Chains A and B, each alone.
Chain A
Amino acid sequence: MFQILVGSKIPFMKYRRHAYILSALIILAGAASLIVKGGFRLGVDFAGGILVEYRFDRVIQADDLRAALSGGGWAGAEIQASEGGRTFLIRIPVPDERQAGEQSPSAQMLRLVKEKVPGIEGELLREEFVGPRVGRELRGKAFWAVLISLLLILTYVTIRYEFKYGLGGIIALAHDVLVVMAFLSFMNKEITIPVIAALLTVAGYSINDKIVVFDRVRERKKGSGRQADAAMIDMSLNQTLSRTIITGVCVILTLETLLLMGGAVIHDFAFAILVGVLVGTYSSIFIGSGISLDLILAAEDRRLEREERAAKLKA
């Protein structure tokens, strides 16, 4: 049989402090990049705004398009060209809610472009219009969805394991979400509804990863009848390492295909999950187990202290 990583003995827990520092640095860098950039780039879903995508039957210059639009009162438009200058993504910040029955923005835009470039035909690929209030509502919903998910997962893991593992797992989860957000900020990606869905998916995948490790630790504990320590956790990590790597590789392969072939709509979604899977795998090994171990050790120390004090009192 073909195997990898059988019988590895890597002392992961020795390096957990280094991992903490690395993670803290990444999260801080993410926070700094957010401060410099003045927050996330919110997509139309959350910021409110208009997004129009057209495919024209000929190449036009982005500058010409911009001139045509600003002539019609759409001056603040962000314009992105793709497919060699035939397809354009046009974004306009916060609109007012419009009286229904008025011409939609896309129809007005096409008229303006046709005035500028006679004879051009454009096919509407998509149009999204989100009023400012709906954007606010969606922001609130996304925030609660993430928070409630994390809390419910914490509750579940606490019921099934010990609270210490639950806490370790949930800190690692929050860490994964923060690191993915830091990367989104570095790469200037927009926060859209699919990206939030990706974050929750990452949370699901990542807790799955941690549970595999915690399950092993629990089994070891039962077998040995003593409290978990660094050696025991290292052993569990090494025993599950081949599964962690193989699964990670499989999921990354499927995500790669989504990323390369799934088209523009799914691209950011797949990207966020890909980063999340990598981060989640790393945090299962170092952060989740590490924090749980530190919590266990701290509890042990407190127990020893209490026993010492009790011994002194007796003496």
Chain B
Amino acid sequence: MNKSYQWKLLLLVLLVALSIYALLPTFQLYGRPEAERNDPRDPVQRELRGKALKLGLDLRGGMHLALELDKSKLPSDASVRDAVDRAMEILRNRIDQFGVAEPLIQRQGEDRILVQLPGLLDKHRAVQLIGQTAQLEFKLVKQASESRQVIDRINRALAGRSADLPDSLLADSLMVANPVTDLLFDYPDMSRFGGVRVLENDYLKLRALLESVNVDSLIPRDASIGFSAQPEIFDQGQTGRVLYVLSRRAEMTGEAVSNAIMRFGLDPRAPNTPGVSMTLTNKGANLFRKITGANIGRQLAIVLDDKVASAPVIRDRIPTGQAQITGTFTDAEAKDLAIILRAGALPAPVKVVEERTVGPSLGHDSVAGGMRAGIVGALVVIAFMLFYYRGSGLVAIICMALNVFFLFAGLAALRGTLTMPGIAGIVLTVGMAMDASILIFERIREELRAGKTVRLAIDNGFDRAWRTILDANLTTLISAIVLFRFGTGPIKGFAITLGIGLIANIYTAVFVARMIFGALLARRNVRSLSI
């Protein structure tokens, strides 16, 4: 046992100890039952989850969203950076209240926000919750006669332009005369107070028709058009929406709301349906008292992101500073609406520019497939190495196992994420580790064939193969680094595992293997080598 050998051994023991330390939280975490593991509130689990090896969205299931702030909707003097920061703050607020374990919210570039929700099940709800701008406005509904005038004007304007409209928007030639009013269900008698009803199928057509022209330019300056947010069931059992003609100016906005909670029984006609009860700020309460006092008998529409959530009739002056939204909500919808009203409005609407969702079962299949492939691949390679290189093959296998162990530890220490391409990176690392061993062993065999002693053959074999292995691993490392710089999510995962694997490989395949051979040689005067 010479001095340098002891140092090398110490280094190895130290590295293994560090790796075990890095992987400890992972073993602790995954040793627990799943429900306990994912509890977002338990501080112990939280800490473990932070330190443990994470599975990527493609393996765990979950949702990845890239949102872009619509800069055109920002006031011209606003800084985009601040707006994005504010939007992130609001999104974080909403997601925290929704209750997802470890959401990731990140700025991406100048005007993008990246949101990752691991293990999420109800995708639709999440999109609703994250994507809504939540611009809340209270607007007065126009009186019936004025509403009719506005609708007639739009109708006439569109009839005049029907030649320019795409055929797909005009269901049949009859519609050319009255493109808008023919789609309305109870026009012009407007039996429903304040709005016109549209059947659900016609509603889609009507919206497309109105979106094809700039409606605001066709109607008086103080009016705007809004549809009800959700389908309603009419007296004869059909479903449809209501088209409201509103005043363009909002009497009050969401800034006047200080709190919002889900409540049952807000609507006396349907005591079991949930709604949202809003508490107004002091200023808001004063304003609301004024508005309601001045407009008794009229409808006040509560408009969320340009859709009418409800349009109750003002029966009396409301002094309490409480406002309500009722409608046909499910419990979850009402709860989410309360969350976004509490968290406040985004500074500008956001667009989804990229979305990737992986269902939990596909993630599960991927993990199972990757594990199976990894184990079978490793077994095949192990069998081959033992058959071809006998005893030395065993050394190669020990080094390979150590390499994979270091790889996982490095990944955990760097807070990396294991993704499906990451598993492929591990497989590739195993391939490179094999190659290093093969290079060394073939060299040793050559030396032995040339009649050298075992000791000299091993020394020469390692010396000659070492440079080749270093070059080979470094060039592949170049690819890995470039991939890491340019890649997104899963590809980054591939690059990280490959990179750590290659660095570990240079150490295990050359230094550790040499130590093992050195230990074998040190014990006695070796005459033959099992290779």
Which residues in A have some Cβ–Cβ distance to B below 8 Å?
Answer: 1-3, 6, 53, 55, 97-104, 106-107, 123-131, 133-134, 138, 141-142, 144-145, 148-149, 152-153, 156-157, 160, 193-194, 196-197, 200-201, 203-205, 207-208, 211-212, 215, 219, 239-240, 242-243, 246-247, 249-251, 253-255, 257-258, 260-263, 265-266, 269-270, 273
- Please list the 5 inter-chain residue pairs (A to B) with the smallest Cβ-Cβ separation, ordered nearest first: A100-B131, A101-B131, A263-B369, A204-B476, A208-B472
Q: Which of B422-470 contact A (CB under 8 A)?
A: 423-424, 427-428, 430-432, 434-435, 438-439, 442, 445-446, 449, 464, 467-468
A149 near B478: Cβ-Cβ < 8 Å? yes
Q: Is B480 at the interface (CB under 8 A from chain A)? A: yes
B445 near A257: Cβ-Cβ < 8 Å? no
Q: Is B12 at the interface (CB under 8 A from chain A)? A: no
Q: Is B373 at the interface (CB under 8 A from chain A)? A: yes
Q: Which residue of A lies closest to B529 (CB)?
A: A1
Q: Which residue of A lies closest to B431 (CB)?
A: A251
Q: Which residue of B lies closest to A204 (CB)?
A: B476
Q: Which residue of B lies closest to A152 (CB)?
A: B478
Residues of chain A within 8 A (CB-CB) of B247 are none
Residues of chain A within 8 A (CB-CB) of B133 are 101
Stretch at the interface among B157-165, B257-265, B290-298, B355-363: B355-363
B478 near A269: Cβ-Cβ < 8 Å? no
Would A125 and B361 be within 8 Å (CB), given that A254-B430, A266-B424 are in contact?
yes
Residues of chain A within 8 A (CB-CB) of B361 are 55, 123, 125
Interface magnitude class on chain B = 35 or more
A211 near B124: Cβ-Cβ < 8 Å? no
Q: Is B415 at the interface (CB under 8 A from chain A)? A: no
Residues of chain B within 8 A (CB-CB) of A103 are 124, 127
A201 near B420: Cβ-Cβ < 8 Å? no
B479 near A149: Cβ-Cβ < 8 Å? yes
Residues of chain A within 8 A (CB-CB) of B358 are 125-126
B357 near A126: Cβ-Cβ < 8 Å? yes
Task: Give the Cβ gap from B106 to chain A, nearest Cβ, in Å.
Answer: 16
Q: Is B130 at the interface (CB under 8 A from chain A)? A: yes
Q: Tell me the complex Cα distance, A104–B369, Å.
A: 29
A1 touches which one: B353, B474, B531 (CB < 8 A)? B531
A215 near B471: Cβ-Cβ < 8 Å? yes
A201 near B428: Cβ-Cβ < 8 Å? yes
A270 touches which one: B354, B424, B446 (CB < 8 A)? B424
Task: Give the Cβ gap from A139 to chain B, nearest Cβ, in Å.
Answer: 12
Instruction: Name the residue in B372, B445, B475 with the highest tally of chain A Cβ atoms < 10 Å from its Cβ.
Output: B475
Q: Which of B455-508 contact A (CB under 8 A)?
A: 464, 467-468, 471-476, 478-480, 482-483, 485-488, 490-491, 494, 498
